[in-house]
């Protein structure tokens, strides 16, 4: 499940279940878990576009590992990341884990969730179990973690053991993107940093208050800032994502003026 905050301008409508509701405004459809909290969104006329800023930021692994062979997404929400990766990363295998069958049903009916095929699979399962059990987890190049409940006070999975399991599921090199939200950000970041030996980056706060943390496995990474800006320009041209803004945010908090080191 996904987490972002926004008060819907239009009244809630289309109650799909006691837990799932939809709202629409200016051509954008929003998913709610029965509250004002937005758990995902889709521009109806452009379903392959990522609408929410924090979810755009969760595509920042494109800066560092642009051709993943396998992507694991924990939390489906309105399927924005699933749609985008399935459409724009054709060589990659996309695996999504979602614990709620109601969320899956809503994504299929209202949010253009792709059909499962040889590249895309959806597991109705507990994300912790999938990444924690050695016999179940599969090594991946990208990991995108966005797991929230209806209250959206903080990540549902947010402890040392889960952070360590996320590290173990990544290949080397590999990149994880964690969506963090709420007052526990510093503690959550510390747990992720401990699991990844301090190899983390934090993107600027998104407009809804979310903070995206990138974590890295594998060999140390050194990337000159001009090279990152060139890569960001290519991402903007190819995918329509504001990648130069990501690089500028990272550079603004960096110690080294010549390159990013992580």
- Under a CB-based contact definition with an 8 Å cutoff, are residues 192 and 198 in contact? no
* Helix intervals (H) in 146-220: 160-169, 185-195
SS3 annotation, 103-117: HHHHHHHHCCCCCCC
Residues 6+ apart with CB under 8 A from 212: 54, 57, 58, 60, 177, 178, 179, 180, 202, 203, 206
3-state secondary structure of 193: helix
- The CB-side HSE value for 45 (13 A sphere, CA atoms) comes to 3
DSSP count for the chain of H helices, then E strands: 8, 12
Query: What are the residue numbers of the active site?
Result: 146
Residues 6+ apart with CB under 8 A from 214: 60, 61, 64, 175, 176, 177, 178, 200, 201, 202, 203
Task: For residues 248 and 60, give the distance between their C-alpha atoms in angstroms, rounded to a whole number.
Answer: 12
Strands 28-32 and 38-43: what pairing?
antiparallel
Closest C-alpha among 36, 37, 62, 41 to residue 51: 41
Q: Residues 99, 124: contact at Cβ < 8 Å?
A: yes
């Amino acid at each position: 499940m996904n987490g972002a905050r926004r008060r819907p301008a239009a009244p809630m409508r289309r109650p799909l279940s006691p837990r799932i509701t939809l709202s629409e405004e200016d051509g954008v459809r929003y998913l709610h878990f029965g509250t004002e909290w937005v758990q995902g969104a889709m521009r109806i006329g452009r379903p392959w576009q990522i609408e929410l800023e924090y979810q755009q930021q969760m595509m920042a692994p494109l800066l560092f590992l642009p051709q993943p062979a396998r992507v694991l997404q924990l939390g489906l929400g309105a399927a924005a990341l699933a749609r985008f990766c399935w459409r724009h990363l054709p060589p990659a295998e996309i695996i999504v884990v979602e614990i709620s069958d109601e969320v899956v049903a809503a994504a299929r009916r209202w949010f253009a969730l792709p059909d499962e095929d040889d590249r895309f699979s959806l597991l109705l399962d507990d994300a912790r179990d999938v990444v924690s059990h050695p016999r179940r987890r599969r090594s991946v190049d990208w990991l995108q973690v966005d797991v929230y409940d209806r209250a959206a006070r903080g990540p549902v999975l947010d402890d040392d053991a889960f952070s360590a399991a996320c590290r173990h599921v990544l290949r080397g090199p590999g990149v994880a993107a964690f969506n963090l939200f709420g007052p526990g950000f510093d503690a959550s970041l510390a747990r992720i940093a401990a699991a990844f030996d301090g190899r983390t980056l934090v993107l600027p706060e998104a407009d809804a208050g979310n903070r995206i943390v990138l974590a890295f496995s594998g060999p140390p990474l050194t990337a000159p800032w001009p090279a990152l800006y060139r890569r960001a320009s290519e991402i903007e041209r190819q995918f329509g994502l504001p990648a130069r803004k990501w690089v500028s945010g990272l550079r603004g908090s960096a110690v080294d003026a010549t390159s990013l080191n992580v």
